[in-house]
Protein backbone atom coordinates (compact mmCIF):
# COMPACT_ATOMS: atom_id res chain seq x y z
CA UNK A 1 0.00 0.00 0.00
CA UNK A 2 1.38 3.40 -0.95
CA UNK A 3 1.56 6.52 1.14
CA UNK A 4 -1.92 7.69 2.09
CA UNK A 5 -2.50 11.01 0.40
CA UNK A 6 -4.15 13.78 2.38
CA UNK A 7 -6.82 15.44 0.27
CA UNK A 8 -8.21 18.95 0.68
CA UNK A 9 -11.77 19.16 2.01
CA UNK A 10 -14.56 19.25 -0.53
CA UNK A 11 -18.11 20.33 0.09
CA UNK A 12 -20.00 17.48 1.69
CA UNK A 13 -16.87 15.41 2.36
CA UNK A 14 -14.35 15.85 5.20
CA UNK A 15 -10.62 16.25 4.78
CA UNK A 16 -8.39 13.26 5.39
CA UNK A 17 -7.15 10.10 3.68
CA UNK A 18 -9.00 9.04 0.58
CA UNK A 19 -11.40 6.27 1.71
CA UNK A 20 -10.18 3.90 -0.97
CA UNK A 21 -6.70 4.18 0.49
CA UNK A 22 -7.56 2.90 3.95
CA UNK A 23 -5.70 -0.39 4.31
CA UNK A 24 -7.63 -2.31 6.97
CA UNK A 25 -10.26 -4.10 4.90
CA UNK A 26 -7.92 -4.39 1.93
CA UNK A 27 -5.26 -6.20 3.97
CA UNK A 28 -7.83 -8.57 5.49
CA UNK A 29 -9.31 -9.34 2.09
CA UNK A 30 -6.12 -10.91 0.75
CA UNK A 31 -6.91 -14.11 2.68
CA UNK A 32 -10.51 -13.44 3.59
CA UNK A 33 -12.04 -16.08 1.31
CA UNK A 34 -9.37 -18.75 1.74
CA UNK A 35 -10.76 -22.15 2.64
CA UNK A 36 -14.43 -21.43 1.96
CA UNK A 37 -16.40 -24.41 0.59
CA UNK A 38 -16.81 -24.37 -3.17
CA UNK A 39 -14.03 -21.86 -3.81
CA UNK A 40 -12.45 -22.57 -7.18
CA UNK A 41 -8.78 -22.28 -8.11
CA UNK A 42 -7.74 -19.01 -9.70
CA UNK A 43 -9.04 -18.32 -13.21
CA UNK A 44 -6.93 -16.09 -15.46
CA UNK A 45 -8.56 -13.53 -17.76
CA UNK A 46 -6.87 -11.75 -20.66
CA UNK A 47 -6.70 -7.97 -20.94
CA UNK A 48 -10.17 -6.50 -21.69
CA UNK A 49 -11.87 -9.89 -21.22
CA UNK A 50 -15.25 -9.80 -19.53
CA UNK A 51 -15.38 -11.48 -16.12
CA UNK A 52 -18.98 -10.75 -15.13
CA UNK A 53 -21.73 -9.55 -17.47
CA UNK A 54 -24.32 -6.95 -16.51
CA UNK A 55 -27.61 -8.65 -15.65
CA UNK A 56 -26.24 -12.11 -14.91
CA UNK A 57 -27.34 -13.90 -11.70
CA UNK A 58 -25.14 -13.05 -8.72
CA UNK A 59 -24.60 -16.61 -7.54
CA UNK A 60 -20.92 -16.07 -6.75
CA UNK A 61 -18.35 -13.44 -5.84
CA UNK A 62 -14.92 -13.04 -7.40
CA UNK A 63 -11.82 -12.29 -5.34
CA UNK A 64 -9.01 -10.62 -7.28
CA UNK A 65 -5.69 -12.40 -6.80
CA UNK A 66 -3.61 -10.43 -9.31
CA UNK A 67 -4.05 -7.71 -11.91
CA UNK A 68 -6.54 -4.86 -12.21
CA UNK A 69 -10.28 -5.00 -12.94
CA UNK A 70 -12.71 -2.24 -13.91
CA UNK A 71 -16.42 -2.11 -13.10
CA UNK A 72 -18.48 -0.66 -15.94
CA UNK A 73 -22.06 0.59 -16.21
CA UNK A 74 -23.87 1.96 -19.25
CA UNK A 75 -26.01 5.09 -19.16
CA UNK A 76 -29.48 5.13 -20.70
CA UNK A 77 -28.05 6.60 -23.90
CA UNK A 78 -25.37 3.91 -24.13
CA UNK A 79 -22.37 5.83 -22.82
CA UNK A 80 -19.82 3.92 -20.75
CA UNK A 81 -19.08 4.88 -17.14
CA UNK A 82 -16.23 3.20 -15.27
CA UNK A 83 -17.41 3.14 -11.66
CA UNK A 84 -14.38 1.61 -9.97
CA UNK A 85 -10.96 0.04 -10.41
CA UNK A 86 -10.27 -3.01 -8.26
CA UNK A 87 -7.00 -4.63 -7.26
CA UNK A 88 -5.73 -7.78 -5.48
CA UNK A 89 -7.71 -8.38 -2.31
CA UNK A 90 -10.85 -6.66 -3.62
CA UNK A 91 -14.00 -8.74 -4.07
CA UNK A 92 -16.50 -8.33 -6.89
CA UNK A 93 -20.16 -8.91 -6.08
CA UNK A 94 -20.42 -8.45 -2.31
CA UNK A 95 -22.99 -5.68 -2.77
CA UNK A 96 -24.92 -7.42 -5.56
CA UNK A 97 -28.52 -8.48 -4.95
CA UNK A 98 -30.10 -11.06 -7.28
CA UNK A 99 -28.18 -9.95 -10.37
CA UNK A 100 -25.13 -7.87 -11.22
CA UNK A 101 -26.04 -4.32 -12.25
CA UNK A 102 -22.61 -3.72 -13.79
CA UNK A 103 -20.05 -5.64 -15.79
CA UNK A 104 -16.52 -6.46 -14.64
CA UNK A 105 -13.65 -6.50 -17.14
CA UNK A 106 -9.94 -7.19 -16.85
CA UNK A 107 -7.87 -4.04 -17.32
CA UNK A 108 -4.70 -6.13 -17.35
CA UNK A 109 -4.15 -9.87 -17.36
CA UNK A 110 -5.86 -10.79 -14.10
CA UNK A 111 -6.40 -13.87 -11.96
CA UNK A 112 -9.54 -14.20 -9.85
CA UNK A 113 -11.04 -16.82 -7.57
CA UNK A 114 -14.77 -17.62 -7.79
CA UNK A 115 -16.50 -18.25 -4.45
CA UNK A 116 -20.21 -19.15 -4.05
CA UNK A 117 -22.20 -16.44 -2.29
CA UNK A 118 -23.85 -19.09 -0.14
CA UNK A 119 -20.47 -20.08 1.30
CA UNK A 120 -19.69 -16.46 2.15
CA UNK A 121 -23.10 -15.89 3.76
CA UNK A 122 -22.86 -19.11 5.78
CA UNK A 123 -19.44 -18.16 7.15
CA UNK A 124 -20.63 -14.64 7.97
CA UNK A 125 -23.58 -16.05 9.92
CA UNK A 126 -21.31 -18.04 12.24
CA UNK A 127 -18.04 -16.07 12.28
CA UNK A 128 -18.28 -12.56 13.76
CA UNK A 129 -14.75 -11.58 12.73
CA UNK A 130 -15.38 -12.65 9.14
CA UNK A 131 -18.68 -10.74 9.07
CA UNK A 132 -16.93 -7.67 10.47
CA UNK A 133 -14.28 -7.82 7.75
CA UNK A 134 -17.02 -7.94 5.10
CA UNK A 135 -18.77 -4.94 6.68
CA UNK A 136 -15.52 -2.95 6.73
CA UNK A 137 -14.91 -3.75 3.07
CA UNK A 138 -18.43 -2.68 2.07
CA UNK A 139 -18.18 0.47 4.20
CA UNK A 140 -14.89 1.36 2.50
CA UNK A 141 -16.46 0.94 -0.93
CA UNK A 142 -19.44 3.12 0.06
CA UNK A 143 -17.17 5.87 1.39
CA UNK A 144 -15.14 5.78 -1.82
CA UNK A 145 -18.35 6.03 -3.87
CA UNK A 146 -19.45 9.10 -1.91
CA UNK A 147 -16.06 10.72 -2.46
CA UNK A 148 -16.39 10.14 -6.20
CA UNK A 149 -19.80 11.84 -6.20
CA UNK A 150 -18.15 14.92 -4.71
CA UNK A 151 -15.32 14.66 -7.22
CA UNK A 152 -17.66 14.47 -10.22
CA UNK A 153 -20.06 17.09 -8.95
CA UNK A 154 -17.82 19.75 -7.42
CA UNK A 155 -14.33 19.56 -8.94
CA UNK A 156 -12.99 20.98 -12.18
CA UNK A 157 -11.54 18.66 -14.81
CA UNK A 158 -7.96 19.39 -13.71
CA UNK A 159 -8.86 18.82 -10.06
CA UNK A 160 -10.47 15.48 -10.92
CA UNK A 161 -7.31 14.31 -12.68
CA UNK A 162 -5.03 15.42 -9.83
CA UNK A 163 -7.35 13.79 -7.28
CA UNK A 164 -7.31 10.58 -9.33
CA UNK A 165 -3.50 10.48 -9.33
CA UNK A 166 -3.41 10.89 -5.55
CA UNK A 167 -5.99 8.13 -5.17
CA UNK A 168 -4.05 5.72 -7.38
CA UNK A 169 -0.72 6.52 -5.70
CA UNK A 170 -2.28 5.73 -2.33
CA UNK A 171 -3.92 2.53 -3.53
CA UNK A 172 -1.24 0.93 -5.70
CA UNK A 173 1.98 2.89 -5.15
CA UNK A 174 5.03 1.50 -3.38
CA UNK A 175 5.64 2.98 0.09
CA UNK A 176 8.34 5.63 -0.06
CA UNK A 177 8.33 5.84 -3.86
CA UNK A 178 6.75 8.76 -5.75
CA UNK A 179 6.53 6.67 -8.94
CA UNK A 180 3.74 4.23 -9.70
CA UNK A 181 2.31 2.48 -12.73
CA UNK A 182 -1.17 3.21 -14.05
CA UNK A 183 -2.49 -0.04 -15.54
CA UNK A 184 -5.50 1.59 -17.18
CA UNK A 185 -5.47 3.55 -20.44
CA UNK A 186 -6.53 7.16 -20.93
CA UNK A 187 -9.97 6.09 -22.13
CA UNK A 188 -10.59 4.23 -18.86
CA UNK A 189 -9.44 7.25 -16.86
CA UNK A 190 -11.73 9.53 -18.86
CA UNK A 191 -14.74 7.27 -18.34
CA UNK A 192 -13.95 7.04 -14.62
CA UNK A 193 -13.74 10.81 -14.21
CA UNK A 194 -16.59 11.75 -16.56
CA UNK A 195 -14.24 13.52 -18.98
CA UNK A 196 -13.12 13.14 -22.58
CA UNK A 197 -9.82 11.50 -23.50
CA UNK A 198 -8.61 14.83 -24.88
CA UNK A 199 -9.32 16.56 -21.56
CA UNK A 200 -7.42 13.90 -19.62
CA UNK A 201 -4.41 14.20 -21.93
CA UNK A 202 -4.44 18.01 -21.71
CA UNK A 203 -4.73 17.86 -17.93
CA UNK A 204 -1.76 15.52 -17.57
CA UNK A 205 0.28 17.68 -19.95
CA UNK A 206 -0.57 20.81 -17.96
CA UNK A 207 0.48 19.21 -14.66
CA UNK A 208 3.71 18.06 -16.27
CA UNK A 209 4.40 21.62 -17.47
CA UNK A 210 3.81 22.86 -13.92
CA UNK A 211 6.39 20.28 -12.75
CA UNK A 212 3.81 18.64 -10.52
CA UNK A 213 4.21 15.25 -12.19
CA UNK A 214 6.45 13.39 -14.63
CA UNK A 215 4.94 10.98 -17.17
CA UNK A 216 6.73 8.16 -18.97
CA UNK A 217 4.35 5.84 -20.81
CA UNK A 218 2.28 4.28 -18.00
CA UNK A 219 4.63 5.46 -15.23
CA UNK A 220 3.61 8.49 -13.18
CA UNK A 221 5.93 10.29 -10.77
CA UNK A 222 4.50 12.75 -8.27
CA UNK A 223 7.33 15.28 -8.07
CA UNK A 224 5.97 16.72 -4.82
CA UNK A 225 3.12 14.63 -3.44
CA UNK A 226 2.80 16.93 -0.43
CA UNK A 227 2.30 19.98 -2.66
CA UNK A 228 -0.17 18.40 -5.07
CA UNK A 229 -3.21 18.52 -2.74
CA UNK A 230 -2.69 22.27 -2.23
CA UNK A 231 -2.27 22.69 -5.98
CA UNK A 232 -5.72 21.17 -6.46
CA UNK A 233 -7.31 24.44 -5.36
CA UNK A 234 -5.36 26.37 -8.01
CA UNK A 235 -6.18 24.04 -10.92
CA UNK A 236 -9.14 24.97 -13.12
Per-block mean pLDDT, blocks of 10 residues, the chain (236 long) = 35 34 37 81 94 95 95 89 93 91 96 93 93 90 84 83 89 86 94 94 90 88 76 64
Q: What is the pLDDT of residue 141?
A: 86
Give the Cα separation of 157 and 205 in Å (integer). Answer: 13
Q: What is the pLDDT of residue 19?
A: 36
Give the Cα separation of 140 and 150 in Å (integer). Answer: 16
- For the CA atoms of 180, 183, 184, 185, the dihedral, rounded to the nearest 10 degrees, stands at 90
Q: What is the pLDDT of residue 13?
A: 28
**What domains sit in the chain, N to C, each tagged with a CATH number?**
24-144 (2.60.120.10), 156-232 (1.10.10.10)
Q: Is the pTM of this model over 0.85?
A: no
State the CB neighbour count (10 A cutoff) for residue 34. Answer: 10
Separate counts of helices (H) and strands (E) for the chain: 7, 13
Gyration radius of the chain's alpha carbons:
18
Q: What is the pLDDT of residue 232?
A: 64
Give the Cα separation of 236 and 227 in Å (integer). Answer: 16
Give the Cα separation of 213 and 166 in Å (integer). Answer: 11
- Give the residue from 182, 173, 169 showing the smallest Cα distance to 216: 182
Amino acid sequence: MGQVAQLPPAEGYPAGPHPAATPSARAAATTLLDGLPGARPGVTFARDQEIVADGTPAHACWEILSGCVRLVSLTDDGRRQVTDFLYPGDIIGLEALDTFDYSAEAVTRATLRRVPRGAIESRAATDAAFAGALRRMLAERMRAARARLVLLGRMSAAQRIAHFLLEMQARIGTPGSPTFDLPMNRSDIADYLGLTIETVCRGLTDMRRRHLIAVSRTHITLRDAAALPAALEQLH
